[in-house]
Amino acid sequence: MGQTTALVQTLKRCLKEQGITYAQLCKPLDLSEASVKRLFAEESFSIKRLDKICGYLGMTLGDLITKMELQQEYLSELTEAQEHALVKDERLILVMQLVFSDWTYKDILRIFTLSEPELIQYLVQLDKLGLIELLPKNRIKLLTAHNFTWRKHGPVQSFFRQNLQSDYFDSNFDQDGSNLTMLTGMLSADARAEFDKKLNEFAKE
């Protein structure tokens, strides 16, 4: 959901909460009811009109934006269809991983051989999937929750297993920043649970 749509949806909720109809907005906006309905349908508000509606509701435009941000839902998991859409293109998966790692638009262009139109196309796809919001000047806002995970045994996990798992373990782990340590031993049920807990906590950091 784009930011404009989210703002209008929040405004509609505020109107509903106060029992205010479109007809009641005609006077403060100096518009016919049909024109008011068209404003909401087309989401074509000027800042001045938004401010007038907020004033009629007894709030400021800043209050409305704050409400929108508080009500915004963040994704904790994609649908099967959304994950399938991701794995169709390896470059889209790459861009997604970079964005998840807090890379900026300029960072990606500087390091990878992607043209600006290509990168924008991939970011638009991620926006449509609901993973990010592409903001003015190509700024990127993540829309995933802190506890976001890929579907267990889903398309993305399968993609990583098929394409990256063997490459990872085929490495010699002899470069700076790489390490492979193998230990032999048995863990109790409590120890395994503690290990899983710490691993999940680390993954969320």
What is the domain-level CATH number for residue 19?
1.10.260.40
Please tell me the predicted confidence (pLDDT) of residue 71: 67
The last residue of a domain, from among 34, 51, 71: 71
Percentage, residues of the chain above pLDDT 70: 89
Please tell me the predicted confidence (pLDDT) of residue 51: 94
Angle at CA of residue 30, ends 26 and 31, nearest 5°? 60
Q: What is the overall mean pLDDT for the chain? A: 85
Distance CA 75, CA 150 (A): 11
- Same domain flag for 130 and 160: yes
Whether residue 19 is predicted with pLDDT greater than 80 in this model: the reply is yes
Distance CA 175, CA 108 (A): 23
Q: How far is CA 159 from the centre of its chain?
A: 21
Q: Pairing mode, if any, of strands 139-142 and 132-135? A: antiparallel
Long-range contacts of 55-59 (CB under 8 A, 24+ apart): 55/28, 56/20, 56/24, 56/25, 56/28, 57/14, 57/15, 57/18, 57/20, 59/14
> Backbone phi, then psi, for 140, in 5-degree steps?
-120, 130
Q: Is 0.75 surpassed by the pTM of this model?
A: no
> Backbone phi, then psi, for 198, in 5-degree steps?
-65, -35
Condensed to tens digits (0 to 9), the pLDDT of residues 132-166 reads 888 888 999 888 876 788 898 999 899 888 877 77
- The answer to whether position 82 is within a domain reads yes
Mean pLDDT of all residues in 186-197: 80
Q: Please name which of 166, 155, 141, 159 lies closest in space to residue 75, comparing C-alpha atoms.
A: 141
Condensed to tens digits (0 to 9), the pLDDT of residues 111-126 reads 998 999 999 999 999 9
Count of the separate structural domains present in the chain: 2
Looking from the CA of 25 toward its CB, the CA atoms found within 13 Å total 25
Please tell me the predicted confidence (pLDDT) of residue 26: 95
Distance CA 22, CA 174 (A): 67
Q: Which residue has the higher pLDDT, 11 or 129?
A: 11
What residues make up the domain containing 16? 3-71
The last residue of a domain, from among 32, 48, 71: 71
- The answer to whether position 196 is within a domain reads no
- Same domain flag for 23 and 82: no
- The answer to whether position 87 is within a domain reads yes
What is the domain-level CATH number for residue 134?
1.10.10
Condensed to tens digits (0 to 9), the pLDDT of residues 70-98 reads 766 677 788 898 889 889 998 999 999 89
